Amino acid sequence: MILIAERINAGFKDIAEALRERAKGPVQEWARRQTAQGADYLDLNIGAVSKEPSDMRWLVEVVQEAVSTPICVDSTRVPVLEAGLDVGDGRPFLINSTTADPGKLEQVVPLAAEHGAGLIGVAMDQRGSPQDVDRRVENAAQIFAVATDAGLAPEQIFLDPVLMPVRHMQEQGPNVLEAITQYIMLSDPPPHISVGLSNIRSGTSEKKLITSTFVAMAMARGLDAAICDVMDDVLLNVVATAELILNKEIYSDAYLRAFRMKRGSS
């Protein structure tokens, strides 16, 4: 499971403040803490408060100074993504994200190809979020086709079936799971499949339980990446257990410890 750590996001007060004041402390602290938890990528998001490419540039540089963990630049704005990629120090990068909107694809896919970065493709289009399985598959297939045409390998492509809050859009849960099943049939080897995990729990009373239960169900369908709260130990334990049940890891009584050890965390 590829864990993309979500905490360095200006949607959080401490990060927004740090960004505004160019204070490295909180950013680097979260970079270290999430790395210590075993994050595969650190998602960096300058949030709705900023449109400034220079903010992303600063964020990438500050994180690169603190840890060697791969970085996921996260923005809806192409110049912001580009600014982050431009200062990359050669470590793996992931772009979050493109949609199936042709205008968007046209700009973001070449960026991934040029920088040799991975690309998250969210199965939305110019009409908005998908409400059924067919639209999710259609949009993902479109993203996949454009990305592979541009020379991206299936392993570079992360398809996101668009997870929605279970509280408000319960009917979308089965659609997301069914879309995952169809995504893994797109190619051999299949593309990665990723979700923004925290979306599902928004507004609920049992946030950790809902997140973890979804992860276990989705992993059984083929989910292998998530933007998530890596500080959530319940989530990590469920991921470790699901990997075991899917026979991706060798069982030992200390498998939870083994899971963390494998990720270089304590």
Partner 1 sequence: MTIPEAKRAWSGQINTVTIGAGPEEGGTRSSVVTVGGATALPFYHFEGVLPHPPVVAMEVWDVQPEGWPDVVKAPFSSVMDDPAAWARVCVDEHGAQLIALRLQGCDPGGADKGPQEAVKAVRAVLEAVGVPLIVWGCGTVDKDNDVFPAVAEVLAGENCLLGTITEDNYKTLTALGTAYGHKIVAESPVDINIAKQVNILALDAGYPMENLVMYPSTGALGYGIEYVYSIMERSRIAALQGDKAMAMPILCDLGTQVWKAKEARASEEELPGWGAVEARGPMWEAATAYTYLLAGADMLIMRHPDAVGATQRAIARLMANGGGS
In the complex with partner 1, the residue whose CB is nearer, 91 or 262, is 262
- Record the tokens describing residue 82, joined without a space: 């580009």
Q: Say whether residue 257 binds partner 1 (CB under 8 A).
A: yes
- Quick check: 192 and 2 in contact, CB under 8 A? yes
Select the residue interacting with partner 1 from 13, 189, 253, 266 (CB under 8 A).
253
Q: Which amino acid is at 109?
A: V
Q: Say whether residue 170 binds partner 1 (CB under 8 A).
A: no
In the complex with partner 1, the residue whose CB is nearer, 205 or 253, is 253
Residues 210-249 that bind partner 1 (CB under 8 A): 249
| Contacts of 224 by beta carbon, 8 Å cutoff, 6+ apart | 1, 2, 192, 193, 194
* ∠ Cα 7 46 148 (to 5°): 90
- Quick check: 26 and 66 in contact, CB under 8 A? no
Q: Say whether residue 188 binds partner 1 (CB under 8 A).
A: no
Spell out the alpha helix ranges (H) of the chain: 13-21, 24-36, 53-66, 78-86, 102-115, 133-149, 172-183, 207-221, 233-245, 255-262
Q: Say whether residue 91 binds partner 1 (CB under 8 A).
A: no
Q: Say whether residue 251 binds partner 1 (CB under 8 A).
A: yes
Q: Say whether residue 153 binds partner 1 (CB under 8 A).
A: no
Q: Say whether residue 36 binds partner 1 (CB under 8 A).
A: no
Cβ of residue 264: shortest distance to partner 1, in angstroms? 9
Residues that bind partner 1 (CB under 8 A): 249-254, 257-258, 261-262
